[in-house]
Chains A and B, each alone.
Chain A
Amino acid sequence: MTEITASRQSLLLPDARTRSRNAAEKRFRVYGMIAIGLAVLALCVLLVSIVSNGAGAFQQTFITLDVAFPEDKLDKNGNRDPAEMAKVTTFGYAPLIKSAINARIQAEGIEIEGLKKPERMISKEAAAQLRNFVLSNPEVIGETRRFEVLASGRVDGYFKGRVTAESAKRDKNISPEHLVLADALKNAGALETRFNWKFVTWPDASENRPEASGLGVAILGSFYMMLVVLVLALPIGVAASIYLEEFAPKNRFTDLIEVNISNLAAVPSIVFGILGLAIFINFAGLPQSAPIVGGLVLTLMTLPRIIIPSRAALAAVPPSIREAALGVGASRMQTVFHHVLPLAAPGILTGLIIGLGQALGETAPLLLIGMVAFVREYPDAPPEGLFDPATALPVQIFNFTQRADPAFVERASGAIIVLLIFLLITNSVAIYLRRRFERRW
């Protein structure tokens, strides 16, 4: 009989080696969970940071004023000749605003010690706004009209918590007294902060008037570029994938194309910008900052990213479909265009939309072809508008980040929210199409 030694443990209790192996197992799982946690955390921090910084861009502070339009200042000869009236520059309109806000302060009975230059609370854009209004409505001269003008970026920042009495002391553009006045005007109902659609529709504004800057030109420019990409990349991409998937013989030329496509998909985007600058602008002489050049560059960049999913979609159509068509006498071309292509269309469309989404967010190549320019004019309708200067949404974001006024950080984050909303829409459409139409064979 063998003796059962006392040191022998029960089989139900794990020994030291098993315990350490189980601990290692547990640790390994924890690493995995930490990794996923970190990735999701990064996503959340990113989104929260952008949204919390950018939500304010959609709110803007406005001041309501009664502006008088004296005839002796705006139309000395009194003949309402538009050419003569246009000679009064925005500097001629600044005094109107000054007197309007002083009148308003008196009317509300606000008295603040040490208040100087209350007109600094109003955006410099307001003078231009009044001038445009008068030039298009000459009949208001001699009258007084109620106007809603933008408050300056600092006053706006005060209501969004960016500017405080502390920081105003050190700021030459605004003083703590202005902030007291802003509160008083708000209580009197002359000043309000509300949702501002114009952030999306207005063009960009200069360095020192962040409150008037918007994304209108950039959105239009991006839209034009996407139009160019769609018109060029869809047919070319589909044609290339049909050739490679359905007709290409196995030879060196085909291999060369395939290697090129897979490499182009991995070439850094900035290299495409260099290509655009050298070929489209310096060699072909196309204008700088034009959506057509941006569209061409993005097309070349997006093509491989469209061809790869399109080929996958074509390859997923089972050979039986082709054989059936060929069997009833269709030519190979008819087989492809009548049967294979329609069945692959949802997959191709999904790839196209995702490719367009990537092109929409691309910035680096556009910097090199002059899209960073400051553009205030809306481009014309296509096709002429494709050659007009414009910016693009991601480049506009970059432009905002390069400016000194902290209000532009808020604008940049706000613009990113707009960009992300566009991307969300395109990607949801892609997912919907895939769910709705994709067939499993």
Chain B
Amino acid sequence: MPLYWLVLIILVIAALGYVLGRSRALRQAGGNQRLLHSLPSFYGWNVALTVMTPAFGLLVLWLLVQPIWIERSVSATLPESAVAEGSSRDLVMSDVRRIAGGLGTLGVEVDQITDTDGLADLRSALGAVGVAIGSDIQLGVLHAAESYRQKTSDLQTYMWIAVILAGLGGFAVAYLVTDKDFRARNSVERGILIVLIAAASIAILTTLGIVLSMLFETRNFFAAHPWQDFFLGTDWAPDFRGGSELAILPLLWGTLYISLIALLVAVPIGLFAAIYLSEYAGGKLRAVAKPAIEILAGIPTIVYGLFALITIGPLLRDYFALPMGLGESSSSVATAGLVMGIMLIPFVSSLSDDIINAVPQTLRDGSYGLGATQSETIRQVVIPAALPGIVGAILLAASRAIGETMIVVLGAGAAAAQFDRGLGHLVNPFEAMTTVTVKIVSQLTGDTDFASPETLVAFALGLTLFVITLALNILALWIVRRYREQYE
């Protein structure tokens, strides 16, 4: 039976608990609500929550632990001979899982299959129900599969019993403690508070999940590939047949170069736009220009990516790169940088706008009083006062640029920078150059083998990216806090 039914049964018990708990409390108070410690519905909720919490908690725990436990115990019974030459225990186990699934649908008697003919028949029968097995099934594998199936269905039954018992147990306890002096409201509110805390803790769990998943796979990567080569090597040439050069420096160069161009576009435009909008612009211009710039922030990055691919790339190639003889590729550092710069304009401008507006008017008035013009006031009073915030905004924009993926996937090209081709190649903005994020995508999409360093390198790249952006974010926050002027 599907799992929904179990969930539904628990919900029904909980609903019943609500009704019964509420009526029991009322009955104990002789129908007089005023004699109760809490409102009647709290007594109902108390029972319902005490049913659901242990039952659903147990269910989730069971579903997490069961596959791991079955995997372990079946894998231990798998004879050494069942693991063929050139194969691994993991691969055989995945066959075991699939055969077990097929056996469940077929419903054949495994004990009667003893010879190779029976195994061949079984293989074709499995193929007919959509479980295609690559090689001939071995007897050891078949028995492992049968025990896998058996254990799964047994445990499934135990799980149903255990979960329903947990729900009923919760019901009994909560129902029996219900009387007119029971502090039901406090009990329910404590429960809700725990739920709220759990929800807030998901942020910590997410960070933990990110760091752990990447650390774990990065460790596997460094076991297969020396870390010195990764951090200090100068070549990026993955080769799935082995002997790859996997160094981060060429990718990091591409990332930083593209981000630099993006900032060179976004910072002046964003900053001047923010200054003009907050200091000069009249109501009408502000009402039109500010939302227009903010629309840029709401456009998904894939749209910018396509814009780079079909408009900006060919434009830069035909009017700049080809006439100047600097390159013939439409995907280039300049393409990706320019488009990313456009994407970052609203980011810089809206953050700077807020910061400039936070500079108190008295500073400006003081400056005007001394005879400064408006632009002198802005350059010599407002900007210095807002500088920490602006630097913070620029750092946040930089962290955005470094982590941006779709624009560079579509606009920057797939070839890594080659250090041995000299400085001219490295600084040529019309050269196609790839980035850390592009390589994460290309190494992790398609058929991936989580044992090869060519796939695992993506996790090391991801961790590096995470660390860099985290450092930039923390630095930005620190600068803002450390150097912010406190105005009354």
Contacts and interface: CB of A to CB of B under 8 A. Distances in A.
A423 interface: yes
A307 B275 CA distance: 30
B236 interface: no
A244 B204 CA distance: 13
B296 A257 contact: no
A333 interface: yes
Interface residues of B, number: 90
B470 A333 contact: no
A361 B300 contact: yes
25 contacts: A28-B379, A34-B272, A35-B272, A36-B273, A36-B276, A240-B203, A243-B200, A257-B200, A260-B203, A268-B466, A270-B437, A271-B403, A274-B444, A274-B459, A275-B206, A278-B216, A357-B298, A362-B300, A363-B301, A363-B406, A364-B301, A394-B300, A397-B306, A401-B309, A409-B310
Interface in A22-40: 22, 24-25, 27-29, 31-36, 38-40
A407 B434 CA distance: 26
A32 B280 contact: yes
B440 A270 contact: yes
Interface in A239-271: 239-240, 242-244, 247-248, 256-257, 260-264, 266-271
B196 interface: yes
Nearest to B207: A260
Instruction: Identify the interface centre among A42, A243, A419, A427: most chain B CB within 10 Å of its CB.
Output: A42
Interface stretch (B77-85, B165-173, B187-195): B187-195
Interface in A362-416: 362-364, 367-368, 370, 372, 383, 394, 397-398, 401, 409, 412-413, 416
5 nearest A-B residue pairs (beta carbon)? A268-B403, A361-B300, A32-B276, A278-B213, A35-B272
A141 to B, nearest CB: 30
Contacts of B444: 273-274, 277, 367-368
Contact of A39 (B200, B345, B450): B345
Contacts, number: 256
Interface string B382-405: 000000000000001001101111
Contact of B192 (A40, A256, A333): A333
Contacts of A357: 298
A86 interface: no
Interface of B: 4, 64, 67, 185, 189, 192-193, 195-197, 199-204, 206-207, 209-210, 213-214, 216-217, 268-273, 275-277, 280-281, 285, 289, 292-293, 295-296, 298-307, 309-311, 342, 345-346, 349, 373-376, 378-379, 396, 399-400, 402-406, 409-410, 437, 440-441, 444-445, 450, 458-459, 462, 465-466, 469-470, 473-474, 477
The secondary structure that dominates the B interface is helix
Instruction: Identify the interface centre among A22, A256, A260, A262: most chain B CB within 10 Å of its CB.
Output: A260
Contact of A29 (B276, B311, B399): B276
Contacts of B400: 266, 268
A316 B348 CA distance: 26
Nearest to B202: A236
Contacts of A284: 64
Contacts of B67: 285
Contacts of A267: 210, 403, 466, 469-470
Given A257-B201, A398-B406, A413 B300 contact: no
B45 to A, nearest CB: 11
Contacts of B213: 274-275, 278-279, 283
Given A35-B273, A271-B462, A412-B306, A367 B445 contact: yes
A364 B306 contact: no
Interface of A: 21-22, 24-25, 27-29, 31-36, 38-40, 42-43, 45-46, 49-50, 53, 235-237, 239-240, 242-244, 247-248, 256-257, 260-264, 266-275, 277-279, 282-285, 300, 303-304, 307, 331-333, 357, 360-364, 367-368, 370, 372, 383, 394, 397-398, 401, 409, 412-413, 416, 419-420, 423, 427
B426 to A, nearest CB: 24
Contact of B342 (A46, A401, A416): A46
A274 B199 contact: no
Nearest to B410: A401
Contacts of B4: 383
A357 B297 CA distance: 12
Given A266-B396, A278-B217, 17 more contacts: A28-B375, A35-B272, A39-B296, A46-B311, A50-B307, A266-B469, A269-B403, A270-B441, A271-B214, A274-B462, A278-B214, A279-B209, A361-B302, A362-B301, A363-B305, A401-B305, A409-B310
A24 B292 contact: no
Contacts of B204: 256-257, 260
Contacts of B445: 367-368, 370, 372
A364 B462 CA distance: 13
A278 B459 contact: yes
Contact of B405 (A31, A264, A269): A269
Nearest to B404: A268
Contact of A49 (B275, B310, B349, B440): B310
A239 B199 contact: yes
B193 A24 contact: no
Given A243-B197, A271-B466, A367-B445, A29 B375 contact: yes
Nearest to A266: B473
A33 B303 contact: no
B289 A40 contact: yes
A303 to B, nearest CB: 7
A310 B300 CA distance: 23
Nearest to B462: A274
A168 to B, nearest CB: 22
B300 to A, nearest CB: 3
A37 B213 CA distance: 45
Contacts of B292: 39-40, 43
A156 B441 CA distance: 34
Contacts of A419: 300, 302-303
